[in-house]
Amino acid sequence: MTQLLGLILLSFFVTSICMVPFIDFLFYLKNKFGKKLADKKNSETPIHDKLMRGDEDIPSGGGVLLIVVLSILTGIFALLNPDIGRFNLKILLFTMISFGLLGFVDDVRWVLTRRKGKLLGLGRGKLLIIQTILAAAVATMLYLLGGLNNFHIPLVGNLIMGVFYIPIAALVIVAFANAYNISDGLDGLSAGLLLICLFAFLAVASSILNLPLASFIGIWIGALLAFLYFNIWPARIFLGDGGAFGFGATLAVVGLLTGKILALAIIGGMFIVIVLSSLLQILSKRFFQRKILPIAPIHMYFKYIGWEEPKIVTRFWLAQSLFAIFGLWIALLSK
């Protein structure tokens, strides 16, 4: 426990030192190469554009710094502790870096096309295909190299999935990568929700004596605490797709490594609520030609009806805390 707390403090200290010059660097790049777009008359999301007005002045890309810090500190931890199993650390870093690179490429493409007067990333189709390929690779490594082929369900027991573990795990990874990205819309929302999830999984990893997993989560928590200081309202920096995709996918892998898929779904409950609100909106428009809500996801709806941003974020954090406590209870029941 002493080592774990030390890792959290070290990660927080290192990230805090790096954060201010990194934000200044992003502002420099934004002022030099950025281009502010005029309001688009024929925007497909006019309500969303109106609600997010002003956020275009805040630099995005904090996830890149966090992934670099996490990778370096995790690598140093692994070198200083050669006796611990390193598979968990390797698969977690591979997931975070690969999905982070995908999001970073999307961010860069978005910036380059924005300078030409457009707003285009890689596109939903291409993103989903690449995400699926990466998730399938991670799931295959979990199955073949990690020996994972089961999910534990309370009151039911271990469900041996065999080779079907791979598509199910891949689906979970893609779902959480996109759920996290969708939740990254208000100052401090996604980072705060993730932080609460990680504290719950830190307890789970400690209860099953998984030192590598607990150590990685501890390093992650420290970095997120430092980032959240600058990300809460009014934000000075955003995570960006690099951090959002990387963190969402890695959260899914953390849950998969514990073998408690039901606990993962509950602990990450607010991410699921957010992504379901967007999914239902999309399906309703496609099949019924009408919207369920004036705007989705659900946190943007609350902003639309007049709730102040800090109020929305704080109440989502409170709801996430209840999900995390319930999910942790479920996980410990099936320990």
pLDDT of residue 19: 95
- Angstrom distance (rounded) from CA 331 to CA 153: 9
Q: What is the mean pLDDT of residues 107-123?
A: 57
Angle at 274 (CA atoms; ends 297, 157), nearest 5 degrees:
160
pLDDT of residue 213: 95
Long-range contacts of 284-288 (CB under 8 A, 24+ apart): none
Give me the residues paired with residue 153 across strands.
157
How would residue 84 be classed by pLDDT, with cut points 50, 70 and 90? confident
The residue with greater pLDDT, 98 or 86, is: 98
Q: What per-residue string of b and e applies to 273-284 under the rule 16 or more CB within 10 Å gives b?
A: bbbebbbbbeee
Query: Using one digit for the tens of pLDDT, what is the confidence trace for 181-232?
Result: 999 889 999 999 999 999 999 999 999 889 999 999 999 999 999 999 999 9
Share of the chain above pLDDT 70, in %: 88
Mean pLDDT of the chain: 88
pLDDT of residue 335: 58
Please count the residues of the chain.
335
pLDDT of residue 41: 46
The dihedral formed by the CA atoms of 116, 120, 122 and 126, expressed in degrees to the nearest 10: -140
- Angstrom distance (rounded) from CA 114 to CA 98: 24
pLDDT of residue 273: 95
pTM: 0.90
pLDDT of residue 154: 79
Residues in the annotated binding site: 181, 241
Alpha helices in 233-268 (DSSP H): 240-258, 261-267
Q: Within 10 Å of residue 58's Cβ, how many Cβ atoms?
A: 17
Query: Using one digit for the tens of pLDDT, what is the confidence trace for 315-327?
Result: 999 999 999 999 9
Q: What per-residue string of b and e applies to 213-239 under the rule 16 or more CB within 10 Å gives b?
A: bbbbbbbbbbbbbbbbebbbeebbbbb
Highest-pLDDT range among 98-112, 178-192, 283-297: 178-192
Token pair recorded at residue 197 = 């999830």
Residues in the annotated binding site for Mg(2+): 181, 241
Q: What is the CA radius of gyration of the chain?
A: 20
pLDDT of residue 190: 95
Angle at 192 (CA atoms; ends 270, 72), nearest 5 degrees:
120
